[in-house]
Chains A and B, each alone.
Chain A
């Protein structure tokens, strides 16, 4: 189906189902219950899940396949965002031109950065990409202020030309839309104690993410994808097999830059504003963490990693002392205080600590990331069924 073999098609289908049902799946707890804290089914966060999923999928095409570790991919995301917001200022609030142009502009920019950075490999390559990204960040803050809005960033304004849109009604503000369907509009469905939100922007981003995921599967399974894995495996042999590694790695770099630009464009489509901090080096580091946490070089890993990190960033960070006291209220007072002070460093602003610990545990015990964890669990279950005991532990390079 769609040129995919059975296994890949099942994976795509599974991801599609999960993405479509996310408003239910991520909101398992009734409103107002103690656990509602852990609900993630609100539009903002769901949008972030799929957008960072796209970012990580693209990053994985470079890092996972070729092994070239870029520390500057946030720059492409930022450039994509700026391109998108300018489309909204100049052309139309329809998200289509914004998203399209963000991909193109990020592609061109990554071609230039890749062309230069790929003259080196290993740590030198990483440093070059980092330098480019930090340079872009600083420029966006200073000399490029006329284009980037500097510290204040950019938003669509009522007075922008927007040559394709009609004039706004008096008092109306420009809103991102898809042929009239506003990205911010939601349909809320309340059943029993539960509240489910179906947001237009989320579903637009989700569809784009599914297409991006599908394309990454195709790339993984193609001769081009195999060449990229060959670059990672043994560049010497590749060169002496009559293959020119440079254009292959550059193509992978540009593709992943375009994915980053796409993510940046979608961010603007969902939330119409950009600031330079989007290009800061920590943002580049985050996508590296996502890939490694989920499983480098696996198909679904980066999406899982992106989800896990965005979940922690948004959920763990919101838990505060009062909530902890509520949770441990059933304990005797003294023990309650001890428990709260033990858990407290790991939540709220301390969520980075939790992320750091989880990251270390994964790197040490599950080098294949969450995907490897999943495979191990699956194998445990398989072994319990004596009927099918074929030695199926063979790890395919791209799961």
Chain B
């Protein structure tokens, strides 16, 4: 039994069958990549996991519990954190405040009206947030406005914010899309480090083969809303069906 079990999930947008019949099992403490050409349904699948979309058919179980019908914040509190395709952070807030928010969410839950303490006097939270900033190498940027950071650093902060919640499953939707090579490599290094140092399951959607093959332990190839194959990176590279459906296509384009 994997930590995440997706069974017979289908999702239709009007006349378009975005997801056909998806079965997926993500084993605990692994990095599982989902690849596939544009429009294959990768983001749709991920949205079904985090409560943004509700699938028409099938079931999604996380750690033995169904996530279907739950709100995004409830699913997050179950232990699933999500990184977006374009970094989603609190732009108007300082880097430190950005980091404190998930720390509060982790400790105090979905809603706590604590209006009469000074947030910077909450030592437990401040220390935790500072420690996370250290780990993300962002301690110097502590007081900067988050919106002023480079895209790579925003991504780093977003990942840090997710990790501050100590999620059991981290979902990333094309975390390096639109990034310069240097930022991409930084992100790969960061994710490798996370995978080595923590007990965490990572599921990553990626278009960039370089990223996928340097991180993933298992790969699912999605095409037209259905999984084609699931295997180790080495086997995926040589798989004829994959070459035809996906890799071949990108090689031709290159």
Residues of A within 8 A of B (CB): 3-5, 218-219, 221-227, 229-230, 232-234, 236-245, 247-248, 251, 394, 397
Contact = CB atoms under 8 A, between A and B. Distances in A.
Contacts of A222: 114-119
Interface string B133-159: 000000000010000000000000000
B227 interface: no
B88 A223 contact: no
B111 A241 contact: no
Given A224-B112, A237-B90, A242-B106, 16 more contacts: A218-B118, A219-B115, A222-B116, A223-B104, A223-B114, A225-B119, A226-B101, A234-B90, A236-B84, A238-B73, A240-B72, A241-B76, A241-B101, A241-B165, A242-B105, A248-B113
B240 interface: no
B212 interface: no
Nearest to B72: A239
Contacts of A397: 92-94
B143 A237 contact: no
Nearest to A394: B143
Contact of B50 (A223, A240, A248, A394): A240
B76 A242 contact: yes
A247 B114 CA distance: 13
Q: Which 9 A-B pairs have the closest CB atoms?
A: A242-B76, A224-B115, A233-B90, A244-B110, A242-B105, A237-B88, A247-B111, A233-B92, A242-B77
A244 B71 contact: yes
Nearest to B77: A242
A220 to B, nearest CB: 10
A221 B118 contact: yes
B207 interface: no
Interface string B79-99: 001101000111111100100
Interface of chain A: mostly helix, strand, loop or mixed: helix
A83 B111 CA distance: 31
Interface string B107-137: 0111111111111101001000000000000
B225 interface: no
A239 B73 contact: yes
B102 A241 contact: yes
Given A227-B101, A242-B102, A242-B106, A234 B118 contact: no
Contacts of A221: 118-120
B90 A244 contact: no
B80 to A, nearest CB: 9
A234 B91 CA distance: 8
B122 A223 contact: yes
B113 A224 contact: yes
B19 interface: no
Contacts of B111: 243-244, 247-248
A218 B115 CA distance: 7
Nearest to A225: B115
A242 B119 contact: no
B102 A230 contact: no
A233 B89 CA distance: 8
26 contacts: A3-B116, A218-B118, A219-B115, A223-B112, A223-B117, A226-B97, A227-B101, A233-B90, A233-B92, A234-B89, A238-B73, A238-B101, A239-B71, A240-B76, A240-B81, A240-B82, A241-B101, A241-B105, A242-B73, A242-B102, A243-B73, A243-B105, A244-B73, A244-B111, A247-B113, A394-B143
Contacts of B84: 236, 240
Interface string B186-208: 00000000000000000000000
B116 A230 contact: no
B100 interface: yes
Contacts of B89: 234, 237
B60 interface: no
B161 interface: yes
B73 A233 contact: no
A219 B90 CA distance: 19
Contacts of B125: 223
A251 B113 CA distance: 8
Interface-centre pick from A225, A230, A237, A241 (highest chain B CB count, 10 A)? A241
Nearest to B167: A242
Nearest to A234: B90
B82 to A, nearest CB: 5
A321 B116 CA distance: 52
A366 B122 CA distance: 35
A182 B152 CA distance: 65
A297 to B, nearest CB: 9
A218 B82 contact: no
Given A227-B101, A232-B92, A233-B93, A241 B161 contact: yes
Contacts of B108: 223
A221 B106 CA distance: 20
Nearest to A8: B118
Given A243-B110, A248-B111, A223 B119 contact: yes
Contacts of B104: 223, 226-227
A226 B161 contact: no
Given A223-B104, A223-B117, A240-B82, A230 B71 contact: no
Nearest to B146: A233
Contacts of B71: 239, 244
B165 to A, nearest CB: 7
Contacts of B118: 3-5, 218, 221-222
B93 A226 contact: yes
Given A222-B114, A223-B104, A224-B114, A240 B91 contact: no
B90 A230 contact: yes
A229 B118 CA distance: 15
B50 to A, nearest CB: 7
A165 to B, nearest CB: 36
A234 B86 CA distance: 13
Contacts of A4: 118
